[in-house]
Chain A
Amino acid sequence: MTRAAPAAALLLVLLVAALSGAAVAARPGGTLRMVFVSDPPTLDPAHATDLTSSSIIHQVFDALLELDEKLVPAPALAERWSVSPDHRVYTFHLRRGAKFHNGREVRAADVKYSFERAARGKRPWVFDKLVGAREFIKGGASEIAGVRVVDDGTVELRLERPFAPFLHLMAYDAASIVPREETDKRGAGFASHPVGTGAFRFVSWRRDDQVVLERFAEHFRGPAHLERVVFRVIPAEGTRFNEYVAGQLDVGDIPTGRCRAVQADAKLKGDVAIWPTLGTSALRFNVERAPFTDARVRRAIAHAIDPSIIVDRLLEGCVKAAQGIVPPVLAGWTPTATRLPLDRARARALLAEAGFPGGRGLGPVAYHFNTNDANQRIAEALQAQLKEIGVTLELRRLDWAAHIKVVDDGSAGFFRQGWIADYPDPENFLTVLFHSRNVGAAGNTSRYRNPAVDRLLDEADTMAIGAARMKRYEEAEQMILDDAVWVSLYFYASRALIKPYVKGLERSPQSTAPEFLAPLRKVWLER
Chain B
Amino acid sequence: MALLRPIASRVVALVPVVLGITVLVFALNAIALGDPARAAMGQRADPETLERLRREYALDRPLPVQYATWLGRLARGDLGESFREQRPVGEVIRERLPATARLALAATLISVVLGVGIGALAAVRAGSALDHLLMGVAVLGISTPVFWLGMMLALVFAVTLGWLPVSGYGDGALGHLVLPAVTLGALHTGTVARMTRSSLLEVVRQDFMATARAKGLSEWAVLGKHALRNALVPVITVIGIGLADLLVGAPLTETVFAWPGVGRLLVAAVGQRDLPVVMGAVLVFALVYVLGNLLVDLAYLVIDPRMRDAARA
Contacts and interface: CB of A to CB of B under 8 A. Distances in A.
Interface string B255-280: 11110110011001001110000000
Interface string B102-122: 000000000000000000000
Interface string A20-52: 000000000000000000110110000101100
A242 B257 CA distance: 11
Contact of B168 (A210, A408, A440): A210
B42 A441 contact: no
A402 interface: yes
B71 interface: no
Interface in B83-130: 84-87, 92, 95-96
A440 B166 contact: no
Contact of B255 (A47, A49, A235, A242): A235
Contacts of B86: 42, 47, 188, 191
Nearest to B42: A49
A502 to B, nearest CB: 19
A405 interface: yes
Given A239-B167, A243-B167, A442 B44 contact: yes
| Most chain A Cβ neighbours within 10 Å, of B49, B87, B169, B261 | B49
B9 interface: no
Interface stretch (A177-185, A201-209, A284-292): A201-209
A400 B35 CA distance: 10
B166 A400 contact: no
| Most chain B Cβ neighbours within 10 Å, of A47, A208, A405 | A208
A42 B36 CA distance: 16
B41 A208 contact: no
Contact of A242 (B46, B49, B92, B154): B154
Interface string B161-204: 01001111100000000000000000000000000000000000
A401 B272 contact: yes
| Most chain A Cβ neighbours within 10 Å, of B42, B48, B84, B95 | B42
A209 B260 contact: yes
B41 A239 contact: no
Nearest to B147: A236
B178 to A, nearest CB: 15
| Most chain B Cβ neighbours within 10 Å, of A401, A404, A408, A443 | A401
A432 B158 contact: no
A233 interface: yes
A234 B167 CA distance: 8
Contacts of A154: none
A238 interface: yes
B47 interface: yes
Nearest to A189: B87
Contacts of A38: 268
> Which of the four size classes fits the interface of chain B?
35 or more
Interface residues of A, number: 50
A418 to B, nearest CB: 8
Contacts of A239: 151, 154, 166-167, 256-258
Contacts of B299: none
A419 interface: yes
A53 to B, nearest CB: 9
A246 interface: yes
Nearest to B268: A38
Interface in B205-257: 255-257
Nearest to A41: B84
B167 A402 contact: no
A408 B41 CA distance: 12
Contact of A405 (B33, B46, B47, B49): B33
A441 B166 contact: no
A401 B273 contact: yes
B154 A399 contact: no
A478 interface: no
B40 interface: yes
Given A47-B86, A239-B257, A405-B34, A206 B169 contact: yes
9 contacts: A124-B49, A191-B86, A239-B256, A239-B258, A242-B154, A401-B38, A401-B272, A432-B44, A442-B47
Q: Which 4 A-B pairs have the closest CB atoms?
A: A401-B34, A49-B42, A402-B33, A208-B260
Given A39-B268, A234-B168, 13 more contacts: A209-B258, A209-B260, A234-B167, A242-B154, A242-B166, A400-B39, A401-B36, A401-B273, A404-B38, A405-B34, A432-B44, A441-B38, A442-B47
